[in-house]
Structure 1
Amino acid sequence: MRLVQFRDEDGNASVAIVEDAKTLVPLRGVASIAGLAKAALADGTTLVAAARDHMGDVRIDYDAVANTNRLLPPITHSDPAHFLVTGTGLTHLGSASARANMHKADNKQADETDSMKMFRMGIEGGKPKAGEKGVQPEWFYKGDGSVVVAPGADIPSPSFALDGSEEPEIAAIYLIDDEGVPVRLGYAIGNEFSDHVMERQNYLYLAHSKLRACALGPELLLGDLPSHVEGTSRIYRDGKVIWEKQFVSGEDNMSHSLANLEYHHFKYDLFRRPGDVHAHYFGTATLSFADGITVQDGDEFEISSETFGRPIRNRLKVQDEQPVRVRVI
């Protein structure tokens, strides 16, 4: 089952089951997936069962919702400060070579790079046996819920950015229950979006390069993630494809197990605060930047995978310079 969040014709937040590529089935009395999940937890049932219990008889046109920009991200929070967006890198087979292409230096160094060391550590210890703890992955913070843009919306790049290009990734969506236990609601396709030129200047700029907007959705896949996921990442300029590449994800294509990535995120107490929601990106091995592509204002990103239904599309919008002041009182 896949769910979407959207606004109805009166502007009210709503949730629907994706019946097929053209049809949505709105849920009665449900304004958010997080709210539906809380109700399911209170009733001791599953998110799938709760969604079926709220199914109505009405069917609406999926295209009509999408074409009027009424789709919302697949998870939201009434207070964006309680929606944490994070991710991991160097988790996919092939991701080390993509990172190496980004970080090519003019002089050749014999020593193994930190990126390659991190990748090798994941290969050797990223999929521990049950009951064992694996090696921790590279980890980064992107921001709170305010950085997540809706499907179809512009994805902003700040005026000071040196680059702003796509990263096609799968993100897992979580709600922290009243006991402080992370509850995985499902998975969404996403565009993690980063400043790769800044990162390439110095690897210690990785934290800065990740403090950018991102996109999720539109559909939330409930249940387990397939071990092999295929998709396509494209960039359009003036309506024409200027770059296209296939990508794969899922545990069969990763150097870390999902359980290991989850453990090393939620082992921190501050990430188990009741009522919070999390979107945690799992990494990628496919980047247009690694292939020498330089994006421009107005380019459109499209990331698609049959596993996640409708593609996610967002247009790059370079922001005007914004003055930064610090006041003293």
Structure 2
Amino acid sequence: MTVVFECVHDNRRHLGTGVPDDGAPLLLHPLGDDTLAGLLRGTDGSPEAVSAVLAERGAPVEVPAAERHRVRMLPPLLPDHPGDALVSGFMMTHNVKVDAEVPDQPNWFVKGLGDVLKVSGEPLRVPGDAVAVCEEAEVVLVYTGDELGVPRYTGYTFGNDVTDIGRFKRHPGHLSYAKLCDAGVAPWLHLGPPPRSVTGEVTVERDGAPVWKGPFTTGTDALHYDLPTMMSRLFAHEALHRPGRTHYVYIGADRGSFHAGFRTADGDRVTIDVASHGVRLSHTLAWTGRPQAGPGREGAP
């Protein structure tokens, strides 16, 4: 399977392939005036097709391992304007979370626009009045609107759908509020069908020491619902159609630290090791300031 990524080096966007090993140099191809989405649109996503596109761009630039800190990874296919990307997802999709009384389509939610996506090393912001925050290790499907605006599947990556699960548990009708936290995302875009089986481990560190660990299983085999049906029903809504818009859809998670009785805190570092696919995401949780009083808030009409 082909894996591609986009990054910024010397203030210019570049394209790379594969999931690079820690401490290895990077081979990067300048994108110039092109976009990764545009380049991929002209291929079938196969290794041969991607290699042919790269060959047309000339010799790659090698960034030594000692200078990798100068390279800023980007979420896959992130548009220049964050308003041209929509981050959303489904809840209660996995067999371990679903009981007999379920609808034929799981609840869908919006997390925000493209600026809520954070790659490893960037903090994940949660509201200052969050009740109980939990990580959610997930597969993330990436779609791009075609010339008519219809979202077309491009590939998948992995992410952390940070959620104020305590707010949702306290009032299920507040799911939409509970999801308005940042989302971790890996920069590596896998150009293939959504994975059937994904396994790994979550580690939460506090003051530099592990305080909770737990395994997770996800992928299409773990879903209670048929994924193609879920997505076709979602994107049947024309309100989501816009040419060039990138959609990042989180498809749900296994049980996590909250279900094990653990409570995260401000400053905790959450690392998701997707062992089955050689991908790691690591972020610090950051509680933001509490909302200020004003129109539409405390006592306002």
Q: TM-score, normalised by structure 1?
A: 0.80
Residue number among 75, 81, 84 corresponding to 2:83 in the alignment: 81
Which structure's residues are more often helix, by fraction? 1
* 1:91 and 1:254 in contact (8 A); partners too: yes
One-letter identity of the residue aligned with 2:8 = R
Deviation at 1:269, TM superposition (A): 0.3
Matches within 5 A, 1:268-287: 268-287=237-256
Per-residue deviation, 1:78:
1.7
Provide closer, same or farther for how the CA distance between residues 222 and 40 of structure 1 changes in structure 2, counting only shifts above 3 A.
closer
| 2:297 paired with 1:313 | no
Can you list the C-alpha shifts for 1:93-120, whole angstroms capped at 9, x where unaligned? 2123xxxxxxxxxxxxxxxxxx7622xx
**TM-aligned CA deviation for residue 11 of structure 1:** 2.7
Partner amino acid for 1:95? K
Give 1:262 deviation, angstroms. Answer: 1.0
User: What secondary structure is seen at the aligned counterpart in 2 of 1:248?
Assistant: strand
Q: Distance in 2 between matches of 1:31 and 1:315?
A: 34
The 5 A counterparts of 1:191-202 are 191-202=160-171
Choose which of 41, 44, 47 in structure 2 pairs with 1:46.
44
The alpha-carbon deviation at position 30 of structure 1 amounts to 5.2
**Contact 1:87 1:280 (C-alpha < 8 Å) held by counterparts:** yes
Alignment of 1:3-152 (within 5 A): 3-8=4-9, 10-18=10-18, 20-21=20-21, 22-29=24-31, 35-41=35-41, 43=42, 45-48=43-46, 49-50=49-50, 52-54=52-54, 56-61=59-64, 64-65=67-68, 67=69, 70-96=72-98, 117-118=101-102, 121=103, 135-152=104-121
Contact conserved, 1:193 with 1:214, CA < 8 A, in 2?
yes
Secondary structure at the aligned position of 1:14 is classed as strand
1:221 corresponds to which of 190, 194, 197: 190
TM (norm. structure 2) is 0.87
Alpha carbons of structure 1 residues 238 and 285: separation in structure 2 relative to 1, 3 Å: same
Any idea what the Cα deviations from partners look like across 1:135-157, whole Å, max 9, x if unmatched? Answer: 22221111111211222101111
- Count residues in correspondence: 288
AA of the residue aligned to 1:11: N
Structure 2 segments unaligned to the other structure (5+ residues): 297-301
Residues 171 and 31 of structure 1: CA distance in aligned 2, closer, same or farther (over 3 Å)? farther
Letter of the 1:16 partner, please give it: G
Alpha-carbon distance in structure 2 between the residues aligned to 1:63 and 1:82: 34
CA shift, 1:192, in A, is 0.3
- Residues 220-271 of structure 1, C-alpha deviations (whole Å, 9 max, x = no match): 1111233111121111112222111111112221111220221122010011
Q: Distance in 2 between matches of 1:188 and 1:207?
A: 23
Paired residue for 1:186? 155
RMSD: 2.3
Greater fraction of residues in strand: 2
The CA deviation at 1:310 is 3.1
Partner of 1:171: 140
Checking the alignment, whether the CA contact within 8 Å between 1:249 and 1:284 is kept in structure 2 is: yes
The one-letter code matched in structure 2 to 1:167 is E
1:104 counterpart residue number:
none
Identical aligned residues as a percent: 26
Q: Secondary structure at the match of 2:279?
A: coil
Are residues 164 and 15 of structure 1, via their aligned partners in 2, closer, same or farther at CA, if it must alter by over 3 Å? farther
